[in-house]
Amino acid sequence: MRAASAAVAMLAEGHHRAMTPDERCRAASSLFDTARAIVDSSIATDLMPAQRLLAIARRIYGTELPEAAYAAYETFWRASRSVNRP
């Protein structure tokens, strides 16, 4: 690691250590929200809501989740929407 990169890393580490657990959680959540918004903006706009959510999840989690988890979520999402309809 170059000296400048090491210095910046040390500053960032010190800043994070000085944060409270709540501040660290809020910062991580904000970073995730930003990443999700970036992914969301790259997904085709003509997808149905369930397809869109699945596309976002696949892009973010990739192979970290088994295919069965995506299928179960899609089934749950569709079922929850049909129950809430008049």
Instruction: Examine the domain organization and report whether 50 and 86 are in the same domain.
Output: yes
User: What is residue 83's predicted lDDT score, i.e. its pLDDT?
Assistant: 63
Instruction: Examine the domain organization and report whether 37 and 3 are in the same domain.
Output: yes
Instruction: Examine the domain organization and report whether 28 and 59 are in the same domain.
Output: no
pTM greater than 0.75: no
Integer Cα distance of 42 and 44 in angstroms? 7
Instruction: Examine the domain organization and report whether 64 and 76 are in the same domain.
Output: yes
- Measured CA angle at 24 (ends 21, 22), to 5 deg: 40
User: What is residue 18's predicted lDDT score, i.e. its pLDDT?
Assistant: 96
User: What is residue 4's predicted lDDT score, i.e. its pLDDT?
Assistant: 80
State the 10-residue block means of pLDDT for the chain, 86 residues long. Answer: 84 94 95 96 91 91 92 85 62
What three-state secondary structure class fits 84? coil
User: What is residue 85's predicted lDDT score, i.e. its pLDDT?
Assistant: 54
Tally of domains within the chain: 2
Domain extent at residue 73 = 46-86
User: What is residue 79's predicted lDDT score, i.e. its pLDDT?
Assistant: 84
Instruction: Examine the domain organization and report whether 37 and 69 are in the same domain.
Output: no
Instruction: Examine the domain organization and report whether 18 and 53 are in the same domain.
Output: no
Instruction: Examine the domain organization and report whether 55 and 75 are in the same domain.
Output: yes
